[in-house]
Amino acid sequence: MTQNRILEAARKLFAERGYDRTTIRAIAAEAKTDPGLVMRYFESKGKLFARVAVVDRHEPIGGRPDQVAELLLAALGAKVTEEPVGALAAIRSMFTHPEAAKDVREAMLAEQRQAADAISGDDDADLRTGLIGALTLGVVIGRYMVGLDGLRDAPPDRIVALLRAPFHSIIHGDREPEPPNADDGRRGDGER
C-alpha cells in the first residue's frame, strides 16, 4: 500500500537526516511514488513527521524501587534490541525542529514523573529519574547515532547487565562516600 511505503520512507529518512534535511521529494523517491501523493495522504511535511517521529511510550512505571529500576532497564533493553526508528527521527530532529524537541521532552518527562512518583520519599527523586533518562538517551544516541565503538555492536543483554547496578544504585539513591579532599594525605608547602 502506498501510504505504508510513504510512512516507512519518512521514518527512515527523518531518522537518518533529521527534519530540516528531509524533503517531501526525497520521501516520495524513497517510497517510489509521486510527491503529490505524499501531500494528498499527509497534507504537509510537519503532519507526516508528527505521524512517524514518536518517542516510544512504555507501560506505566510503578512499584517498589527495585521494580522501577527493572522496568526502566527493560525499556532501555527494548531500545537497544530493536532500533527505535521513530524515536531516532525525533531525537535527530529535536535540535532543529521545535515540535520534535517538545515531543521528546514530553515523553521523557512523562516517564520520569511516573518513576519519580514511585520512588518518592526524598528530595532528589526527580534528579535520580532524570539521570536515568539521560543515561538512556545517551545510550540510544551513542549506539545508533554516534556509533560508539563497543556500544554500537554490543549485545543488548550485555548493555543491560552492565547498567543494572548503576540503575539500581541511582533509583535507590545509594550515596557514595564523599571524594577525598585534595589536601588529605599531603602536607602544605614547606611542611615535612
* Predicted model pTM: 0.71
Q: How far apart are the first and last CA of the chain?
A: 82
- Pair 30, 95 in one domain: no
Task: Specify if 159 maps to a domain.
Answer: yes
Task: Specify if 188 maps to a domain.
Answer: no
For residue 192 the three cell numbers come to 615535612
Cα–Cα distance list, 39 to 25, 95, 96 (Å): 10, 25, 22
- Pair 160, 72 in one domain: yes
Taking residue 73's Cβ as centre, other Cβ atoms within 10 Å add up to 20
**Number of domains, the chain:** 2
- Pair 69, 153 in one domain: yes
**CB distance 28 to 35 below 8 Å:** yes
- Pair 29, 118 in one domain: no
- Pair 135, 86 in one domain: yes
**CB distance 43 to 137 below 8 Å:** no
- Pair 100, 149 in one domain: yes
- Pair 90, 135 in one domain: yes
- Pair 22, 112 in one domain: no
Task: Specify if 178 maps to a domain.
Answer: no
Task: Specify if 156 maps to a domain.
Answer: yes
Nearest in space to 72 (alpha carbons), one of 63, 150, 53: 63
- Pair 78, 130 in one domain: yes
Coil/strand/helix, residue 47 = helix
In a structure prediction context, what are the per-residue pLDDT tens digits for the chain, which is 192 residues long?
888 899 889 988 888 888 888 899 999 999 999 999 999 998 888 888 877 776 555 667 888 888 999 999 998 999 899 888 877 877 878 777 777 677 677 777 888 888 888 887 667 899 999 999 999 999 999 999 999 999 999 999 999 999 999 999 999 887 766 777 755 555 555 554
- Domain of residue 121: give its range: 65-172
**CB distance 64 to 119 below 8 Å:** no
pLDDT computed for residue 192 by the predictor: 47
pLDDT computed for residue 189 by the predictor: 53
- Pair 126, 41 in one domain: no
